[in-house]
Structure 1
């Protein structure tokens, strides 16, 4: 039986280059490998932790789905669904919560970051923390474990969530015997944390992202804002430490990459690098951008695809949930 690869993205903002390079691209590449069976989902309930505006939330959810489809995801060849359309996930979430120590949740990076921030600003430790935020790793574990996922492609900052899923699965398995598959994470090593416009990690919270389907003029302006050093054009530069080269490699051909590498070593101005980076990114995104906007104008078409995918997801997940319930005596 083929190993199962599972990837989900939550609708908390426009998909950016970091999302594409760190999670979407490697997940799509795995789907092309006949050794794997792929599952993709829109993690809409995960996005609810920030209490979003309903209209905006709906559009962001459609945006995630349209992004996958525009970038070449074939819903006929994979399982592709909206998290909220698969109720088995949320039933398993409660079961797993009963095997999740509070101490484990206390150590979750996202929760700890909020607590640390509150301490620095002299607020109550749990100020701004709803239970969705606190128990977020359990719902993610449910996403992963319900489908017996073997591999979960993640960014470096998401590794802990897969490790928590393993801890919860092991806790359950100790009580009831081998039930859950222990998932493994997969990180793209070279792009595990992609820098943003200001050199920090590319993140919506930092406001330093480049939206994936940005229109060409704005895309060029954002690329020109990427932070670089003050080396003069004629000075040799190290391509392996350059944000620009890191991005360039993800969208250029092998021949273009080697040519750019040589230009770095001989000396090239940052303005010229940014111009060529824009050219290869815009070239790659031209067709996906067009398809994305077409899909966003037809939400009913997206709904049809997601509902069809949810049916396949439930056909797979329901028998396993019944087995889980049988093991705990239900």
Structure 2
């Protein structure tokens, strides 16, 4: 039986934080060890240019993300781990797909519609003001990422499901014109996936500046946890776990028995200072070994680059012959061939 091809991209615009870890990185690392699947994980550095025009930030983020995944135990023997920009066939495929994609389909993309709505609400005469072609057409680049390796399953958040549906539409159109070259990908939603709250109680996100970086040194991790917003209930007063940022983060790192014990402590009126100490010790105890590996990797960027180049070789062993096949399909090949 053929192995299922699973593909995940990580945009290189920030430092991995606890929310990234429990929501995406941890399950992906586990999936990388699944011998019944062929996982593809890539640094989506071309995607990062859509929203970030800070070269050093993109470069630094690429290093931090790669080091994070390797430090956490990504199985690079089973998984293909590469940088998007090291596989030029992806951009060539993007143009081929662009030429069969209806503009009307792109008009319906959520990100584009939201940007237009913001302009209209702001009273702009031009609804497209400030909207780049990168933002408008990036679902096509995402489709190329997926279709280049004929991924069967693409784990995504609910807000990304539309892009997988667009990739299916684009693949179907190409297949209709040129023949059956692409499998139709399926979105994989983890309904039980954790979404952590940040320092201010909102969803942990770099856009809110409320994140806790995954591999902060111990002293900084403790300081950040101590900054987590809580209510004014005193020690001894019973507290609700529902809606509590401290509890939700702890729950994502604890066993069922540990969660039950802390839930009882809440009912008994645990103090916020005590809960923050418990949370710090629990998280720090789990990530300390990986943090040590991460720090070592950050001192050896050449080793990280070697890993990415090895992944690119594996990826291009697939993409290079496939793009040659696609060129022939669309009529771009040598006249004498």
State if a TM-score over 0.5 links the two structures: yes
Q: Give, in angstroms, the shift of residue 312 of structure 1.
A: 0.5
Cα-to-partner distance string for 1:263-283 (whole Å, 9 max, x where unaligned): 334443333332222111111
Q: Give, in angstroms, the shift of residue 121 of structure 1.
A: 2.5
In the alignment, the residues of structure 1 paired with residue 62 and residue 226 of structure 2 have an alpha-carbon distance, to the nearest angstrom, of 29
Q: How many residues align?
A: 330
What is the RMSD computed on CA atoms of the aligned residues? 2.2
Asked which structure has the greater CA Rg, the reply is 2
Q: Give, in angstroms, the shift of residue 329 of structure 1.
A: 3.3
Residues 10 and 64 in structure 1, CA contact (< 8 A), matched pair in contact too = no
What is the 5 A alignment of 1:174-323?
174-191=176-193, 193-239=195-241, 241-323=243-325
The equivalent of 1:22 in structure 2 is 23
The equivalent of 1:45 in structure 2 is 46
What is the 5 A alignment of 1:117-132?
117-123=118-124, 124-132=126-134
Cα-to-partner distance string for 1:143-164 (whole Å, 9 max, x where unaligned): 1111111122223332222222
Q: Give, in angstroms, the shift of residue 233 of structure 1.
A: 4.5
- CA 1:266–1:161 in 2, change beyond 3 Å: closer, same or farther? farther
What is the 5 A alignment of 1:90-169?
90-123=91-124, 124-169=126-171
In the alignment, the residues of structure 2 paired with residue 188 and residue 271 of structure 1 have an alpha-carbon distance, to the nearest angstrom, of 33
Q: Give, in angstroms, the shift of residue 213 of structure 1.
A: 1.4
- CA 1:254–1:192 in 2, change beyond 3 Å: closer, same or farther? closer
User: SS of 2:192's equivalent?
Assistant: helix
Segments of structure 1 that go 5 or more residues without pairing to the other structure are none
Residues 142 and 167 in structure 2, CA contact (< 8 A), matched pair in contact too = yes
Say which is worse superposed, 279-288 or 48-57, in terms of deviation: 48-57
User: SS of 1:135's equivalent?
Assistant: helix
- CA 1:175–1:122 in 2, change beyond 3 Å: closer, same or farther? same
Residues 4 and 39 in structure 1, CA contact (< 8 A), matched pair in contact too = yes
Say which is worse superposed, 213-222 or 89-98, in terms of deviation: 213-222
Cα-to-partner distance string for 1:145-189 (whole Å, 9 max, x where unaligned): 111111222233322222222222222233334321222222332
The equivalent of 1:75 in structure 2 is 76
In the alignment, the residues of structure 1 paired with residue 83 and residue 242 of structure 2 have an alpha-carbon distance, to the nearest angstrom, of 38
Say which is worse superposed, 183-192 or 198-207, in terms of deviation: 183-192
